[in-house]
């Protein structure tokens, strides 16, 4: 049988398919790109969990680059992230605001007294309404917000060392 170009067709189809499958392996279907990137951070104002006489408001953060970390005491991945947050809050030099999502104040505070409080401000979202405005669908999630109040980056799932040093810190430096 003579060799013909068309005999390569099945092999090339197979290679294309293999390429698609290999790309597919690296995609995480749980990471849905947020439509809020490069949009203004939804405003909210809430009493601080640590001091009921003071409030936190997104509007008052204008002019600062800051991070919003959505977490909960019932969330195990947040517990994994916690030591890095403790270290990070010292290193990055920008406010790290904690939003205790669908949690009770008592249980949230209990975790922080046991393991340390990395947050510069801490607010509660007991009913998950702020979470809906920010498109939160799985905790932990972290938003990087710039001086004009625009969301620049969203980390879905725990922040890792790699994310911190290769993505977050360069982004923060660029925004300052």
Partner 1 sequence: MMKKIFSVIAFTCLLGLNANAQNIGNDPVIESRLKALSQELRCLVCQNQTLADSSAPLAEDLRREIRELIAKGMTDEEITAYLVARYGDFVRYRPPLKSQTAILWAGPMLLLFAGFGMLLITLRRRNALIANDKDTEE
Query: Which structure tokens are listed for 18?
Result: 């293999």
Residue 48: which of 80, 11, 15, 95 has the closest Cα?
Answer: 95
- Helix (H), strand (E) at residue 115: helix 105-115
Span interacting with partner 1, options 17-25, 26-34, 51-59, 146-154, rule CB under 8 A: 26-34
Count of residues that bind partner 1 according to CB under 8 A: 18
Q: Cα 20–154–84 angle (5° rounding)?
A: 105
Is the Cβ of residue 36 or residue 169 nearer to partner 1 in the bound state? 36
Of 66, 134, 143, 153, the residue at the interface with partner 1 (CB under 8 A) is: 134
The beta-strand segments (E) located in 17-140 are 45-47, 55-57, 66-71, 96-101, 121-125
Query: Considering the complex, what minimum distance in angstroms separates the CB of residue 42 from partner 1?
Result: 9
Asked whether position 40 contacts partner 1 by CB under 8 A, the answer is no
Of 34, 69, 89, 155, the residue at the interface with partner 1 (CB under 8 A) is: 34
Span interacting with partner 1, options 19-27, 50-58, 86-94, 135-143, rule CB under 8 A: 135-143
How far apart are the C-alpha atoms of 73 and 102, rounded to whole Å? 9
Asked whether position 135 contacts partner 1 by CB under 8 A, the answer is yes
Query: Considering the complex, what minimum distance in angstroms separates the CB of residue 173 from partner 1?
Result: 28
Span interacting with partner 1, options 45-53, 81-89, 129-137, 160-168, rule CB under 8 A: 129-137
Query: Which structure tokens are listed for 30?
Result: 């749980």
Asked whether position 95 contacts partner 1 by CB under 8 A, the answer is no
Query: Which structure tokens are listed for 53?
Result: 């006489």
Query: Which structure tokens are listed for 9?
Result: 């067709």
- Helix (H), strand (E) at residue 46: strand 45-47
Q: Which residues bind partner 1 (CB under 8 A)?
A: 29-30, 32-36, 102, 127-129, 131-135, 137-138
């Amino acid at each position: 049988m003579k060799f013909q170009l068309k005999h390569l067709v099945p092999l090339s189809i197979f290679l294309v398919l293999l390429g698609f499958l290999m790309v597919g392996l690296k995609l995480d279907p749980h990471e849905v790109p947020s439509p809020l990137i490069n949009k203004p951070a939804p405003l909210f104002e809430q009493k601080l969990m640590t001091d009921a006489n003071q409030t936190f408001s997104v509007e008052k953060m204008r002019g600062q680059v800051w991070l919003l970390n959505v977490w909960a005491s019932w969330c195990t991945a947040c517990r994994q992230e916690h030591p890095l947050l403790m270290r990070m809050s010292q290193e990055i030099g920008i406010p790290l605001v904690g939003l205790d999502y669908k949690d009770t104040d008592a249980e949230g505070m209990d975790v922080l007294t046991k393991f340390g409080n990395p947050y510069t401000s801490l607010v509660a979202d007991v009913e998950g309404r702020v979470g809906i405005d920010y498109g939160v669908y799985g905790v932990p999630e972290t938003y990087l917000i710039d001086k004009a109040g625009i969301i620049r980056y969203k980390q879905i799932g725990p922040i890792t060392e790699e994310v911190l040093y290769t993505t977050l810190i360069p982004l923060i430096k660029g925004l300052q």
